[in-house]
Structure 1
Amino acid sequence: MDLDHARALAVDAAEAAGKLLLDGTRQPIGVRPKGGSGDVVTDLDLASEKLLLERILAVYPSHTVIAEESGLLGVSGAEWTWLIDPLDGTNNVAIGLPAYVVGLALCRAGRPMLGVVHDPVSAQTWSAVRGRGALASPGARMAARHRPSSHGPLLAWTQGYAVTRDDTKVREMRHALELGSRRVLQLWAPLLSWAMLARGDIDGMVGYQAEAVDLPAGALIAQEAGIEIRALDGGPFEDNIEGTVEDRSFVAAHPEAIQALLSLVHR
């Protein structure tokens, strides 16, 4: 498997989908409910996903593909699996908030090997191949930064759609984070939060039962930029998409800040 070729394909596809999304947000958008949790889907989600599926399956017809809206496609049980998030930030787009990205990940036996995130609004793309570092377009190497502040860290929060409002553990963690941080952002676009963490715009990120399709690409980019990710109990973070929903809870920060963030979570 030529991961450099796969990265080039994924970057081109994500940027083409981004142009479609950017053009589409300048026109009236069709929005309808999705599921019973208050989530929505737009015509742009479907159009972007169609473009991405066509490009990936045309080159890798023997791969498995898991797409946000279409589910499982391609060859079931293949060694290589693509994860497609055609519009991470759908709820933002639905209310006219320009904070959304396109995300692609390629996993081998469940483990992310390639991640690509494209921001149509800023025209920036971030990508990583496992063990080779993370790149920001047009090819600059990314390096996480540690910037201690007397006002506390600037954090991002993400949680899965199935997490209910009466989840006691979530309420306790959110309360502890709010008390001990400068600010907690919930952008409704976790892949964008991962990119911000990898760039050093924010200091840490906490996730609780995050969605499988939009976790691997961002987490791999952040890790390859130098971010450390741990499980909520401080143990190793298992970045395998075949794990349980509990395995998708995490804290992420610069290695010099990870212990402080874990302490804050368990305050």
Structure 2
Amino acid sequence: MTFSDTDFEYLMATIAEAAAHEILPRFRNLGVGDVSEKTSAIDLVTEADLLAERHITAALKARFPAALVVGEEAYEADRSVVPALADADLAFVIDPVDGTLNFASGLPAFATILAVLAKGLTVAGIIHDPVLGDTVTSMRGAGTYQRRRGGQVSRLAVAPAAPLSEMVGSMAWSYMDEPYRSLISANMSKIRMPLSLNCSAYEYWLVASGKIHFIGHAKLMPWDHLAGVLVHQEAGGFTAKFDGTPYRPGETTGGIISAPDEESWRIIRREIVGAR
């Protein structure tokens, strides 16, 4: 299955439409009944998540009827779709509103994420900010770009390598089990500035554009990471799981670190994660 530039333009337009019609009208306008808990008070779903995912899924099915479409919210109804990503000829992975807690709290730090996979390989990624109207895009082998609402396009690159004490980074330790939770939260004091955005989309945006040096997560749900890992790699960065193996579609455990280069990744794994 070939995936063309025209197809890519269709995806960007579809995501922008979903943002305009389903997400932005509900931002700071959610009623009490429009927000529900999934696993906890910090793991939420809103009407915007559900309706934006439905909008994007319908558009994808109309243009690519044979493709596998995996949405974060649909996964709750059929969990077999994530392992199927490893072998699908063509698949799309959607996070309609990444950073739902921020969205539901009225904070403009959330985005829509879409990854395109062909035969188990991520070939394209899109991260769209509905509030700013800006989009980060990447196609395998073609670099990573930021596209402003006004039409300006610039190529992104990761930050130069830096000593650990000068690094700025984010590790999502609050979702980790012990002993990683306590170990990593303490080890983050070794860097210049730790960040916590509660939004994978923005973390990958920042690390791919060189604004921060690294990000890390323990939970590897595909809608949070597939597009972002490609965006980061195409911007020149290095990503691997905590054990040093590549992150692959269908995997949901094992932890992940994205850094400017492999040596920086090794330093972060040793000094922050505590692995040798």
TM-score range, shorter chain: 0.7 to 0.9
* Structure 2 counterparts to residues 40-51 of structure 1, below 5 A: 40-51=44-55
Structure 1 unmatched runs, 5+: none
Structure 2 unmatched runs, 5+: none
Aligned to 1:28: 30
Equivalent position to 1:241, from 218, 242, 249:
249
Aligned to 2:271: 264
Matched, 1:186 2:196: yes
* Structure 2 counterparts to residues 32-181 of structure 1, below 5 A: 32-36=36-40, 38-71=42-75, 78-137=88-147, 138-146=152-160, 148=162, 152-158=166-172, 163-164=176-177, 167-177=178-188, 179-181=189-191
The one-letter code sitting in structure 2 at the alignment partner of 1:113 is V
Deviation at 1:4, TM superposition (A): 1.8
TM-score calculated relative to the size of structure 2: 0.84
Whichever structure has more helix as a proportion of its residues is 2
SS in 1 for 2:11: helix
Change in Cα spacing, 1:133 to 1:182, as seen in structure 2 (3 Å) is: same
Deviations 1:200-237 (A, max 9, x none): 1111111113222211011100110111112223x242
Deviation at 1:115, TM superposition (A): 0.5
Moved over 4 A (4+): none
Change in Cα spacing, 1:232 to 1:78, as seen in structure 2 (3 Å) is: closer
Deviation at 1:145, TM superposition (A): 2.3
Aligned to 1:251: 257
SS in 2 for 1:6: helix
The one-letter code sitting in structure 1 at the alignment partner of 2:64 is Y
Identity of aligned residues (%): 25
SS in 2 for 1:106: strand
User: How far apart are the structure 2 equivalents of 1:150 and 1:62?
Assistant: 47
Deviations 1:100-132 (A, max 9, x none): 000000112222111000011222101111111
Deviations 1:148-182 (A, max 9, x none): 37853111123696x44xx21232122212x2112
Change in Cα spacing, 1:34 to 1:156, as seen in structure 2 (3 Å) is: same
User: How far apart are the structure 1 equivalents of 2:164 and 2:251?
Assistant: 37
Supply the RMSD in Å over aligned alpha carbons. 2.3
SS in 2 for 1:257: helix
Change in Cα spacing, 1:53 to 1:79, as seen in structure 2 (3 Å) is: same
Q: Which range is displaced more, 82-91 or 222-231?
A: 222-231
